[in-house]
C-alpha cells in the first residue's frame, strides 16, 4: 500500500540504510499505518496506536541449528511524550496527562 502510494507521486521507497541504526523504511511503514488508522474510509476513525513493538533477528546464530542470534532484540516505538511517561515512569503518568505532554 505504501509503495503504491509513493509510486503514484514518483517518490522512492525509503531504505533502511547500510547500518542497523538507520531504519527509515521501518519508520515510514509504521507512520503510514498510523495515518491509515486516522483516515479510514467511511468516516470511522480508529484509535491511534500508542506503541509499536517488533522483534528483530540479527547477527549470527549462537549455536548451530538455533534461531537465537547474537544480536536479536526487541524495539519499541512510543507515539508521544505522554505515552513515554506512562510506559517508562508510571508514577509521573498523571502529571504528563495533566500537562498534555
CB 61 within 8 A of CB 68: yes
* pLDDT at residue 42, as a whole number: 66
Q: Which helix (H) or strand (E) holds 95?
A: helix 93-99
* pLDDT at residue 17, as a whole number: 73
* pLDDT at residue 56, as a whole number: 84
* pLDDT at residue 69, as a whole number: 94
- The parts of the chain modelled with pLDDT lower than 70 are 19-21, 40-44, 81-101
DSSP code per residue over 1-59: -HHHHHHHTTPPPP---SSTT--HHHHHHHHHHHHHHHS-TTS-PPPPPSEEEEEE--S
**pTM score of the predicted model:** 0.55
Beta bridge partner(s), residue 75: 54
Amino acid at each position: 500500500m505504501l509503495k503504491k502510494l509513493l509510486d503514484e507521486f514518483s517518490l522512492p521507497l525509503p531504505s533502511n540504510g547500510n547500518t542497523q541504526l538507520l531504519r527509515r523504511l521501518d519508520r515510514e511503514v509504521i507512520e503510514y499505518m498510523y495515518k491509515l488508522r486516522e483516515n479510514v474510509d467511511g468516516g470511522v476513525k480508529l484509535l491511534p496506536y500508542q506503541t509499536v513493538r517488533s522483534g528483530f533477528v540479527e547477527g549470527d546464530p549462537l549455536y548451530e541449528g538455533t534461531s537465537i542470534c547474537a544480536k536479536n532484540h526487541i524495539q519499541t516505538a512510543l507515539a508521544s511524550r505522554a505515552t513515554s511517561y506512562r510506559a517508562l515512569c508510571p508514577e509521573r503518568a498523571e502529571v504528563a496527562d495533566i500537562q498534555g505532554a
